[in-house]
Amino acid sequence: MSTKNLEQIRLNAVQLIDEGKYQFMNGDQFSIKKNGFELMKQGCQELCKYAKTEINQEYINLAKEKLSLYCDELNQMKQYLAPFEEKQNEEQNKIQNEQNKKEDQNQKKQILKDNNIENNTLKTNLSNAIINEKPNVKWEDIAGLENAKQVLKEAIIIPMKFPNLFQGARKPWTGILLYGPPGTGKTFLAKACATECNGTFFSISSADLISKYLGESEKSIKQLFQLAREKKPSIIFIDEIDSLASARENSGTQDNMKGVKNQLLVELSGVGSDNDQVLVLGATNIPWNLDSAIRRRFEKRIYIPLPDLHGRLNLLQNQLKQTPNNLNQDQIKQLAQQLEGYSGSDINTLIRDASYEQLRIVSKATHFKQELFQNQLKYTACSSSDPQALKMTLKDIKSQQLHLPNIQYNDFMAVLPKCKPSVAQKDLIQHEQWTAQFGQQG
Ligand SMILES: Nc1ncnc2c1ncn2[C@@H]1O[C@H](COP(=O)(O)OP(=O)(O)O)[C@@H](O)[C@H]1O
Ligand SMILES: [Mg+2]
């Protein structure tokens, strides 16, 4: 190192020491004195560096002498500062502690708030499950299923209207399970209950209850029952209940489902709570998948089978009332006979498909003729051999000018081969077996 640089180090060290000493002696605050001490310490370190690099022995000795003096001074300064430092540390700790406490509290508050929001959202989600507007499905709209209707009336309408009649052995039913092949009117029956009952009707699909978050579904079940008890008399309708309370243990979300199932069991058995005037109505297409403990909680298990001849006739008549058609009673009866194995919803699909048949004919037609309908001249499809036939297609006709014939028996015959029943024979056998073991005919 050059002598110039070395001299620079020495000067820097002296400057730091002088400045530090000055601040320490004259500073009227702990922080200034402390700063002075630090500057002096830094200066001493610089002086050490100088002494190690200097080669002139005389200068080295001089520096060492000074350093020993400064070290004594530094020690004294340190002793002087110690109590202040302690006090300051204490204060800082206190401030820090308070700050921590505040943060803790804020965090707690936030957690509480989050919880509250969560509870409230759960509650709002659940309030959405309350059916305020009646679905407008009447008992008469349901074809057949006389027994099921009777049981539901017995279980729902009468106890709600005359609660004092249900005392002692005559306890109202608290759990009713509707089961049977899909499309046979289970959900539809529940809608009729909602329309006809005067209490609060909760309709919950399993998807509402199975939320993505672990543990949350249990909470929502608990809240659902709480809300139902608050607003009693109530009916809780849980559609597709098998997905909530399946007996299968090997599903991917096993732990989650176990919790849900247990919570449902607790609520269904009314442990620690008064389930008076809260009826649980469940529906499922696969009752054999239900957990046996849950199954037991449904005291009444009603089989909702495929419609019989009388039911199918009823269904056809009801539906055709709403659609202009040319079928006479005999034809409807014939049709009903051919629809063995069709569910209610299959029959609805068939009618819809048949109602499209005339549209299909019209859109494929190559010849139309003009006829008077209600004093208006309109086009209607006809065969090319018709004396009045005009060669044209649907594109040539304005919307007001087209006459579409009503649904006819032939339309049904045309679509029938395409519209197959949706319920498999083996499922029916399984339902019959389950009914023999656990159920009751609906
Ligand atoms: N017995 C029935 N009476 C009147 N309509 C029915 C009947 N069964 C089924 N349906 C019709 O089929 C549709 C589907 O029935 P749904 O109740 O949803 O079947 P699921 O038994 O699968 O719950 C209903 O909206 C209704 O229009
Ligand atoms: Mg359904």
Mapped onto helix, strand or coil, the DSSP state of residue 245 is coil
Closest ligand 1 atom number to CA of residue 189: 17
Q: What percent of the chain has pLDDT above 90? A: 30
> What is the mean predicted confidence (pLDDT) over 24-39?
89
CA distance 161 to 228: 17
Q: What spacing in Å lies between the alpha carbon of 349 and ligand 2's midpoint? A: 15
What is the CATH number that goes with domain 309-422? 1.10.8.60
What is the CATH number that goes with domain 130-306? 3.40.50.300
Amino acid at 203: S
What is the CATH number that goes with domain 3-105? 1.20.58
132 has a pLDDT exceeding 70: no
* Ligand 1 neighbourhood includes 351 CB (under 6 angstroms): no
Backbone angles phi, psi at 417, to 5 degrees: -60, -25
Q: Provide the pLDDT confidence category of residue 366 given band limits of 50, 70 and 90.
A: very high
Q: Whose CA is nearest to atom 19 of ligand 1?
A: 183
Residue 119: predicted pLDDT:
62
Sheet with 390-391: strands ordered across? 376-381, 367-373, 390-391
Instruction: Answer yes or no: are the C-beta atoms of 77 and 90 closer than 8 Å.
Output: no
Q: 399-408 b/e with 16+ CB inside 10 Å = b?
A: eeeebeeebb
> What is the mean predicted confidence (pLDDT) over 310-325?
91
Backbone angles phi, psi at 430, to 5 degrees: -60, -40
Longest CA pairwise span in the chain (Å): 139
* Ligand 1 neighbourhood includes 439 CB (under 6 angstroms): no
> What is the mean predicted confidence (pLDDT) over 359-382?
90
Which tokens belong to 87? 């006090």
Q: What percent of the chain has pLDDT above 70? A: 88
Residue 340: predicted pLDDT:
93
Backbone angles phi, psi at 395, to 5 degrees: -60, -30
> 367-373 and 376-381: which strand pairing?
antiparallel
Residue 181: predicted pLDDT:
95
Question: Where are the chain's structural domains?
Answer: 3-105, 130-306, 309-422
- pTM for the whole thing? 0.68
**Average pLDDT in the chain:** 84
Which tokens belong to 155? 């279980």
Distance, C-alpha 275 to centroid of its chain: 25
> What is the mean predicted confidence (pLDDT) over 6-26?
90
218 has a pLDDT exceeding 80: no
Which tokens belong to 253? 């979300």
Q: Which residues surround ligand 2, an ion (CB under 5 A)?
A: 186-187
> What is the mean predicted confidence (pLDDT) over 118-127?
61
Instruction: Answer yes or no: are the C-beta atoms of 286 and 181 closer than 8 Å.
Output: no
CA distance 327 to 407: 8
Of residues 172, 233, 230, the one with CA closest to residue 199: 233
Residue 129: predicted pLDDT:
64
Which tokens belong to 45? 């370190």
165 has a pLDDT exceeding 90: no
* Ligand 1 neighbourhood includes 74 CB (under 6 angstroms): no
